[in-house]
Amino acid sequence: MEGALCGVKVLDLTRLLPGGFCTMLLADMGAEVIKVEEPGIGDYIRTRPPLVGKNSGFHLVLNRNKRSLTLNLKTDAGKDVFRRLVWDADVVVEGFRPGVMNRLGLGYQVLKKIQPRIVYCAITGYGIGGPLELKAGHDINYLALGGVLSYSGREGLPATSGVQIADIGGGALMAAFSIVSALLARERDPHGIGQFIDISMRDGSIAFNCLRLGKYLADRKVPLPGDDQLNHGMACYNIYETRDGRYMALGALEAKFWENFCEAMARPDWKEARYFEPGDHQRELYQMISAAFKQKTQSEWIGHFAAHDCCCEPVLNLDEVMRDEQVRCRKMFVEMVHESWGAYWQLGIAPKFSRTPGTLRSHAPELGEHTEEILSVLGFSQTELQSLRAAKVI
């Protein structure tokens, strides 16, 4: 079977992480994604070190399964080419500040007249409208203004994640889900009309507060670092250092897992602790468990807990994750071979579909690699292509 999104054509005007991850997901599921890039420069992420071959390792992962077309949208000829691309497209994704595409004469109101079926998705920091509409920002800013950072980490300094939560979760995943939803709505619409999607990474971050919001609505206590069951506030759900400076992650939230953990640690007296209730006893219990974990190395604890069902796992580094048997079984890292730089590991596809699985079909493209191929299909002659190239439109 072909991919679930086979036949869907996406014009990707985005740069860096949020849009790139969004359209990577669509491409993995079979969509034809055309990465529209500025001639000579392209997506900024292409040049960020370290490099694999001539391109960034970041580009290698984010832009697999896509084709690259260079196009100068600041020229009249470039705008004409883009409008022709839109006529045959299903989706446009862009990540400029609000108003940029309108100033170029390529905003949604213009494009929907060319192609009423178009689904147009704009990914921005703060959304369209409001006093922060044009304000610059990054992942850390959206999480800060979304409330997430205020209760992340332990008591004291708020902690950031090693993963860009707002960019990927609040932006890319929200956008991909919304695009697919809009495509489904279009198919159900008797006139097949598309729509405009406004994705704010701050809004997406705010949505991640769902559990803490529910608690706040009930107890009216403003969340703080280390104050909650899932936020270092409970000894049964925490991270512990081992003798060799590594870490174990304990997630014994339910009574049965906590009892199994206590048995595994030969500490039946801990079963009596009010492990699910907040209070000073949690700090005392945490200190006792910390002292116990420092008696063995991480490797020894892995072997020890293998026979105990108590939700206690090692904190693995990325290299260890790539070599993990379960991960290999799930094919979350796949070896590919590039004609220029040879073999390399590519990120696998997380969703596993039984009938229309995602596939890794092609490497991340070189800048403008498919320009001539894409425009030739649109009907541009070799003479026209040469003219566009001479005028630095492509």
Q: What are the C-alpha distances in Å from 222 to residues 82, 148, 216, 218, 228? A: 49, 12, 6, 11, 11
Which position among 43, 167, 203, 228 bears the catalytic label?
Answer: 167
Q: What's the rounded Cα separation, in Å, for the pair 258 and 269?
A: 12
Q: What's the rounded Cα separation, in Å, for the pair 238 and 234?
A: 7
How many helices and strands in the chain, by DSSP H and E?
A: 17, 13
Q: What's the rounded Cα separation, in Å, for the pair 106 and 100?
A: 9
34 three-state secondary structure = strand
**232 tagged catalytic:** no
Angle (deg, nearest 10), helices 16-28 and 174-188:
50
Q: What's the rounded Cα separation, in Å, for the pair 128 and 138?
A: 16
Q: What's the rounded Cα separation, in Å, for the pair 63 and 16?
A: 10
237 three-state secondary structure = strand
Q: Which one, of 250, 258, 290, lies nearest residue 274 by Cα?
A: 258
Q: What's the rounded Cα separation, in Å, for the pair 176 and 169?
A: 10
363 three-state secondary structure = coil
Angle at 222 between CA 143 and CA 274, to 5 degrees: 110
Q: What's the rounded Cα separation, in Å, for the pair 303 and 298?
A: 9
Peptide bond before 50: cis, by omega within 30 degrees of 0? yes
**76 tagged catalytic:** no
Question: Catalytic residue numbers?
Answer: 138, 167
